[in-house]
Structure 1
Amino acid sequence: MGNASSSQQGAQSETPTYFTQEELNKLKSEFATGGVEKIKPLLEKKVNELDNTELNIAVTGETGAGKSTFINAMRGLCSEDEGAAAVGTTETTMEPTGYTHPYLPNVRYWDLPGTGSTRFTAGSYLKKMQFKTYDFFIIVAAGRFTENDAKLAKEIKRLGKEFYFVRSKIDADLNSMRQQRDEFDEDAEMGKIRSDCVSQLGKAGIPDPNVFLISSLMKNMYDFYWLMKALADGLPNIKKSVFVLALPNDSVEVIGKKVEVLKKRIWMLAIMSGVVGSIPVPGLSAACDMGIVIGAIIYFRKCLCLDDAALGRLALRTGKSVEDLKGEVKSSLLGELTAPVILRLCLGAVAIGVSVVEVFFYFIPGIGSLFGAGSSFGMTYWILNDALKLLMETAVKVLAVAKRAQ
C-alpha cells in the first residue's frame, strides 16, 4: 500500500458502475431475444439490489484517538445532532457499537472498542468483534501507531480484508508546532509526521503502509479527500456507489460524484416507468409513472442532503430556520412533490419538443436504440435528468450557505 502523498498523484477513479460485465452481457442477450419486456425484470432486480446493499465499516484504535468524532464526520453529523456518536466519553464496553447513516440505513459505521483498552491477541480481538461483518477497517491513532495497531492490521490482511491507517487530530498537532516556532512550513511538517508514522509501522512489520493525516473537524483540509477516494476505490462496483452516495456534501467535487452515480440509475427507472408509446402533450402527467418519478426525486434529495432532516441539521448550525434556508436557495423541488409541481417546472420539456424524433440511447453498449424520446421512457428519462440537474445546482447553493456559516 502506498502512502497518501503518492495516492494524491494518481488519476481520479472512474465513477462506479452498477453492472458487472456478465450482467451487461445478459442484458444484451435478453434485449435481443425479448426486447424491453425481457430486460425490465432484470433492471427491477438491480434497483432492489442497490437499495438493499449493506456497507459496514469498522473504526478501531486506542481509546481517545478520535474514533467517535471521525464516525460523526463521515456521517455528516456534529456531536450535537440526533443520532451522533458520543464524543469524549470513557470507553467501558467491549462490544461493537453501530451507527446508522442518517439517510442510507444500509450503511453503518461501527465503533470498535479500543485496541489498547484490553488484553488481546489480534486474532481473538477480531473474532470477538465479529470480523466477517465488516467490509473494511479504519485504524485511527491520535499520535504514533502502536504495536497493537500493527498486529491488528497484519491479522486483518491475513484474513483478506482491507485496512487503512488514519492519523487524526492533525490540526491540533500543527497548531501546537506553529505556536512554538518563528518559522513554520506546514507541508514539511506533515511530511515529517507521515514519514514517522510510516517508519514506525514499517518497524512493526507493515511495509509501505498507507497513512492519511486528517482532522475530522476540517474535512476540506489535509488528507481527508484522499482518504475518501482510497476508501471508495477499494470497494467493488455497487458498494462503491453506495459509499459515494453516503459521503457528506463537503465539496462541489463530492456533489458531482454523487450526481454521476445517480445518473446511472435514471435510465433503469425510465425503462421501468411504463409502456412505450407516443405521448400527446396534454397528457404529459400521464406520460410516465409519476410514482417512480416522485420517488426518484425524493431519493435524489436525500442523497444530495436536501431532505428536511439534512436541512434541519444545517439550520441549527447556521441559526436559520429550514424555511429560511429553502427560501435562500430558491428551489421548487425542495417542497411537496406532485405531478402539477413537476409540470409547472417544465421538467422533460425537451422530450415534448422532439416527441416525433427518434433518439438513440447507448446506456448499455451494444443494445443501441431503445425508444423514441416521445415514449414514456423518454419522458421519465428527461424529467429525472432535469430534476437531478436542478437538485445539483441547489446542493451547491446549500454548500455555499454552509461554508458562509463556518
Structure 2
Amino acid sequence: MGGSSSSEQVEETETPSFFTQEELNKLKSDFETGGLEKVKPLIQKKITDLDKTELNIAVTGESGTGKSTFINAMRGLRNTDPGAAKSGTIETTKEPIGYSHPTLPNVRYWDLPGIGSPEFQAARYLTEMKFKRFDFFIIISTFRFKENDLNLAKEIKRLGKKFYFVRSKIDVDLDSMRKEKKVVNEEEELEKIRIDCVTRLAAKGIPDPTVFLISSFEPDHFDFIRLNEGLEGDLNNVKKRIFVLALPNLSVEVVQKKNKILKKHIWMFATLSGGLGAVPFPGFSLACDIGILIGAIVYFRKCLDLDDASLQRLANRAGKPVEKLKATIKAPLLGEMTPDAIMRLGWGAAAVTVSALEFALDFVPVLGSIFGAGSSFLMTYKILSAALKDLTDIAGRVMKVAFETD
C-alpha cells in the first residue's frame, strides 16, 4: 500500500496544472486508442481557454451618427460583410445589441439605442443599458455633440468609467468643403473642427475633453489610429492585450504590437508542453507537442489576421483579389494545419530529433520525465518563436500588398 501511495503522490505532483487528473487520464486513454487525432481536440480547447477575459465596449449616440459603421470598422468589417452590424438612419431597437469580434469572440462591441429623447435621463439610461458590464463608452456624434451626449458623459464619469468623444463622418465634412472651395487645407480645417468641438464641450462642463475626428470608411486616416492608441492606453494589462489582438491590421505598428503580445503567449504554450512532457508514456509527449503547436499556430494566424476568413475580409476592404494576398504566404503556413504540415516546416527536423530522443527516454520513467519536460518546453518554445517571426513578417507583407504601402 505504501508503494502505491508514493506512486500516486508522484503522479499528482507531475500532473500539469493546466489539466485536472481526470483530463490527463482521458488524454492518455484517448492517445492509446486513437493517437494524436483523438487527443488534439482537448489540447486545442485548453489553449483556447487560456484567455477567457471579456472586453465589452459600448458605442452610443443618436441614430444616423455612424455607430454601426464604426463598430464594423473596429472589427475589420465592411457594412456588407457577413456578421456586420446593420447600418441605417432609423433607430430599430431599444435594447443594446452585441457584436462579437470575428476571430476573438470574447471581445464585443455593443450598439446602444439612440439617446435623443427629450425625456432622456442619463442615470436611468445607464441603468437600463446595464452600465456595469461595459469597460468603457464611446460617444459618437456628427456636426456637434448634443445636450444628451454631455449629460451621459457626466454620468459615466460620476460612476467611475471611461468615455471618449468621437466626431464621425469627418470625410463627408471635408468633401462638402471641397465642393464649396477650390482648395482645402485639410490640416487647418480639421484643427478648426477639433477646436470647435472642444470649446463647446468645455463650455458645457466637460473639462479638458479629447475629441477624435474619424471616418469609419478610412480607418487608416484622420484620428482612427490615435483613438485606438488612446483606448489601449486606458485599459489594464490583461484587457489591453485582448484589445490589441482584436484590432484590424491598420499599420505595421499594430502588427508589431501583436507580435510583442503573442511572444508572451509562447511561454504559456511551452509551459503546457513541458508539463505534458513530464508524463512518462511512450509517444504521448510528441503527440501532445504537435497538438499544442497546431493549436498555437492557428491562434497566431487568427490574431495576425492571416486565417482564410480574415484574409478575405482584408481583400474585400482593400479591393484586391484574395489570391494576391495569399501568394505572399508560405504554403505550409496556409490552409489547414496538420501533423504533416508541422513536419514540412523548416523547424520539423529539430522537432523530430528532440522528440525521438524523448521517446526513447520515455521508457526510463524518472530520466524520461525529467528530459521530457525540459525538451518539450525547449522544442515548443523554439518552434513557436520561429513560427511567430515568420507569421509576423508575412502579416507585414500582406498589408503592403493590400494597401500598396512602402
TM-score under structure 2 length normalisation: 0.78
Residue 339 of structure 1 deviates from its aligned partner by 2.5
Residue 207 of structure 1 deviates from its aligned partner by 0.5
Q: 1:223 and 1:371, CA in 2 relative to 1: closer, same or farther beyond 3 A? A: farther
Report what 2:360 is aligned to.
none
Count of equivalent residues? 353
Q: 1:320 and 1:65, CA in 2 relative to 1: closer, same or farther beyond 3 A? A: closer
Report what 1:299 is aligned to.
299
Superposed, 1:75-224 pairs within 5 Å as: 75-117=75-117, 119-224=119-224
Provide the secondary structure at the position in 2 that maps to 1:375: helix
Q: 1:269 and 1:400, CA in 2 relative to 1: closer, same or farther beyond 3 A? A: same
Equivalent-residue separation in structure 2 for 1:259 and 1:118 (angstroms): 48
Equivalent-residue separation in structure 2 for 1:400 and 1:48 (angstroms): 30
Residue 255 of structure 1 deviates from its aligned partner by 0.9
- Residues 354 and 374 in structure 1, CA contact (< 8 A), matched pair in contact too: no
Report what 1:66 is aligned to.
66
* 250-259 or 310-319, which deviates more: 310-319
Equivalent-residue separation in structure 2 for 1:193 and 1:399 (angstroms): 31
* 372-381 or 315-324, which deviates more: 315-324
Equivalent-residue separation in structure 2 for 1:211 and 1:218 (angstroms): 17
Report what 1:267 is aligned to.
267
Q: 1:185 and 1:290, CA in 2 relative to 1: closer, same or farther beyond 3 A? A: same
The aligned amino acid for 2:386 is D
The aligned amino acid for 1:159 is L
Report what 1:333 is aligned to.
333
- Residues 60 and 140 in structure 2, CA contact (< 8 A), matched pair in contact too: yes
The aligned amino acid for 1:137 is F
The aligned amino acid for 1:210 is T
Equivalent-residue separation in structure 1 for 2:325 and 2:49 (angstroms): 34
* 149-158 or 169-178, which deviates more: 169-178
Identity %: 61
* 268-277 or 395-404, which deviates more: 268-277
* 313-322 or 108-117, which deviates more: 313-322
Residue 115 of structure 1 deviates from its aligned partner by 1.2
The aligned amino acid for 1:272 is L
Provide the aligned C-alpha RMSD in A.
3.3
Residue 52 of structure 1 deviates from its aligned partner by 1.1
Residue 123 of structure 1 deviates from its aligned partner by 0.6
Equivalent-residue separation in structure 1 for 2:219 and 2:371 (angstroms): 44
The aligned amino acid for 1:218 is E
Equivalent-residue separation in structure 1 for 2:191 and 2:319 (angstroms): 39
Residue 398 of structure 1 deviates from its aligned partner by 1.9
Provide the secondary structure at the position in 1 that maps to 2:198: helix
The aligned amino acid for 2:116 is G
Provide the secondary structure at the position in 1 that maps to 2:88: coil
Equivalent-residue separation in structure 2 for 1:273 and 1:150 (angstroms): 52
Instruction: Name stretches of at least 5 consecutive residues in structure 2 with no aligned partner.
Output: 1-9, 21-45, 356-369
The aligned amino acid for 1:237 is N
Provide the secondary structure at the position in 2 that maps to 1:248: coil
Equivalent-residue separation in structure 1 for 2:320 and 2:149 (angstroms): 43
Q: 1:167 and 1:371, CA in 2 relative to 1: closer, same or farther beyond 3 A? A: farther
Residue 320 of structure 1 deviates from its aligned partner by 6.4
Provide the secondary structure at the position in 2 that maps to 1:274: helix
TM-score under structure 1 length normalisation: 0.78
- Residues 145 and 197 in structure 1, CA contact (< 8 A), matched pair in contact too: yes
Which one has the largest radius of gyration?
2
Instruction: Name stretches of at least 5 consecutive residues in structure 1 with no aligned partner.
Output: 1-33, 356-369
Residue 332 of structure 1 deviates from its aligned partner by 1.9
Residue 83 of structure 1 deviates from its aligned partner by 0.7
Equivalent-residue separation in structure 1 for 2:146 and 2:206 (angstroms): 12
Provide the secondary structure at the position in 2 that maps to 1:387: helix
